[in-house]
Structure 1
C-alpha cells in the first residue's frame, strides 16, 4: 500500500499534498519535531518526533520503501529514500531519482563549501513561487499514480 511521507519542517506544500493524498486515498505522514496542527483528515497522521538532529529524517528513511512517495527538501534524506526505492520529490516538483541524486548531492556539498569559504556571502535560494507550487501538484499527482501502478 502506497504511503506519502512529508518532511514537514518548513514544507510549503503540506496543504497541497494533503489534497492530492486524499483524492488518491493514500495515508499521509506529516513528520516533524513539533509545531504542527493535528489534522481532522483520517488519512493524515501527524508524527511528532523527539528533538534532535535529523530525527524526523531518520523516521522517514527507516519506513519508506518501494511504492512510497517522499516529499523533502533535505538532499541527504532524499538520497536515503531513493536508495530505499521510494519516489522522491522536492517542494518545487523536481523528482530526485537514482539517475540524478548523485549530482544533486555533489552540488549541495559544493554549495555548502562555497558558503563556508565566504562567510560574508548574503542571500539564499530563490523564493517559492506559484509556478513551483503548480509544478509540485502535477509532479505529486504523477508520482502517486505511478506508485499505485507499481
Structure 2
C-alpha cells in the first residue's frame, strides 16, 4: 500500500502529518505536483514533479494508483477515478470519498460550477483549520490501523 498526494493544493499541515506517518509506519508517500516540492530526507518519502497543465498531476496519480492505495485529494473527479481503480480517497479535512457518496459529490460539484458559470457567487471552502488537521490525522490513523490489522 502506498499513499499518493495531490500536492499542489494540499495544506502544509497535512503534508507534515503524512511525513510523520511515513516514517512511523515505514510506508511510501509520494507527493505529485506541478511544482518542485521539498520533502524531508527519508527512504519512504518522494515527490514527482509533472509538467504544468490542466489535470496533469491528477492523470499521473491515476496512472500510479493501485487497488488498496490511499490518495489524499480534495479534487472530486480525481477521487472518483481513484475509487474506480479500487483505491481509497481521503480529503485534507478528513472526509472520505466512497463508492456510496462519490456520485452525489460529483453532482453537487457540477451544479456549483454551473452556478459560477452563470455568474452566481457561490463562495469557496472555509479556511483550513486546526480542527480540519485533527480530523484528517484521526482518519489517517484509523485507516493505517485497519491496514496493519489486515496484514496480520
Scaled by the length of structure 2, what TM-score is found?
Answer: 0.91
- Provide the alpha-carbon RMSD of the alignment: 1.5
Measure the CA separation in 1 of the matches of 2:100 and 2:39.
36
Residue number in structure 2 paired with 1:78: 79
Give, in whole Å, the separation in 2 of the partners of 1:66 and 1:146.
Answer: 15
Contact 1:69 1:147 in 2 (8 A): no
Unaligned stretches of 5+ residues in structure 1: none
In the alignment, structure 2 segments of 5+ residues that lack a partner are none
2 CA distance for matches of 1:146 and 1:105? 27
The C-alpha deviation readout for 1:12-64, integer Å capped at 9, x for no partner, is 11111111222111100010011311431221011111111111101111111
Instruction: Using the TM superposition, give the Cα deviation of residue 142 of structure 1 relative to its aligned residue in structure 2, in angstroms.
Output: 1.6
Larger RCO of the pair (alpha carbons < 8 Å, separation 6+)? 1
Query: Cα deviation per residue 1:42-88 (whole Å; 9 max; x = unaligned)?
Result: 21011111111111101111111222100001110000001111111
- Give the SS at the match of 1:78: helix
Cα contact 2:115–2:122 (8 A) shared by 1: no
**Runs of 4+ displaced beyond 3 Å:** none
- Alignment coverage as a number of residue pairs: 148
